[in-house]
Amino acid sequence: MNRRQVILDLKDLRTRFHIAEGTVYAVNGVSLTLHECETIAIVGESGCGKSVTMLSVMGLIPVPPGEIVSGQAFYRNRDLLALSEAEMEHIRGKEIAMVFQDPMTALNPVLTIGRQISEPLRVHLNMDRAAAQQRVIELLEQVGIPDPKNRMNDYPHQFSGGMRQRAMLAMALACAPSVLIADEPTTALDVTIQAQIVELVTRLRDALCMAVIWITHDLGVVAGLAERVIVMYAGMVVEEANVDDLYDDPRHPYTLSLLAALPRIDRRRDRRLKSIPGAPPNLLVAPHGCPFAPRCEFAFDRCRIETPPLLPVAIEHRARCWYDVVNGRPFE
């Protein structure tokens, strides 16, 4: 399946934040690969490091307090983490674009939508005003904003939530990037609007052959969108699989719990949804052992001492667990 070229290759990324209370171990050795035109989803609960991972790749972590301790992020064989700020400016928005969670705060309230969309066109493609304006109208049309000629002169507060996110998408797509990073783009939206945005991204991805990294905490959104899913917990990848395998044959206890907490239309309705006991891990403590062990129903002694590696458990399927959930006993 993955004969396509690797476009983004992330190797052992570690990001920390040095704050007054100590050091936050936000990302602890994340590796992932993204192929051309492929969509992957990064799933995990709030604070598991999924956004920080992608912000690190984009060089958008405020330093200080942030620090990228180690790792490489190869985009078309160039390590983004080693590039200078000036070189990164040519990557951001042009090669790799990003859409953020809350389009109300992510758009500048005092600049028109049209201006904000035209900025990457001017900066990266050296378009003049007239050409940029023409392209903005096309882009707004493409993302389904009615009457783009007039609406481009509106300010963000004059747009509805869904329209703002469409405008954000138009902005990200302006320079036809090869990679789109969508950081929880539907979280702040109504469910019906969510579906529209997902549908829109799917359509544009297919039309432009764009690789998409979709960050979300909503496993429901992922199903119809991504080809592969990466489950993160406490700044680590705990499971990685093709989307169907992950839903039908989850191998990590955390993924199992996530799926058990998800309402499904094909299951009996009278079954209670299961919540995961305990609280997410304290990232102020350096990771030791399996980070999920304190909340895991299968955890045994080894889990608390030794951090499991990300091991292949099936074809194109890896999990970070000492316990074989299929056979109901520890590995080896």
Which parts of this chain interact with another protein (CB under 8 A)? 58, 60, 85, 88-94, 97-98, 100, 102, 105-112, 119-120, 123-124, 155, 157, 168, 171
Token match 């995990």: residue? Answer: 44
Strand order in the sheet with 22-35: 22-35, 6-19, 66-75, 78-79
Task: Please state the closest distance from residue 119 (CB atom) to another protein, in A.
Answer: 6
Question: Minimum Å distance from CB 318 to another protein?
Answer: 30
Residue closer to another protein (CB basis): 47 or 330: 47
Residue 50 or 124: the one with the smaller Cβ distance to another protein is 124
Minimum distance from CB of 39 to another protein (Å)?
19
Could you tell me if 112 and 158 are in contact, meaning their C-beta atoms sit under 8 angstroms apart?
Answer: no
For another protein, the closer CB: 29 or 103: 103
> Which lies closer to another protein via its Cβ, residue 73 or residue 321?
73
AA letter at 28? N
Q: Which is nearer to another protein, 103 or 308 (CB)?
A: 103
d(CA 178, CA 73): 15
Least separation, in Å, of the C-beta of 28 and another protein? 23
Give me the least distance between CB of 313 and another protein, in Å please.
35
Sign of the CA dihedral with 223 first, then 226, 229, and 234 last: negative
Work out the number of other CB atoms within 10 angstroms of the CB of residue 298: 18
Nearest Cα to 309, choosing from 332, 329, 275, 283? 332
State the DSSP code for 164. H
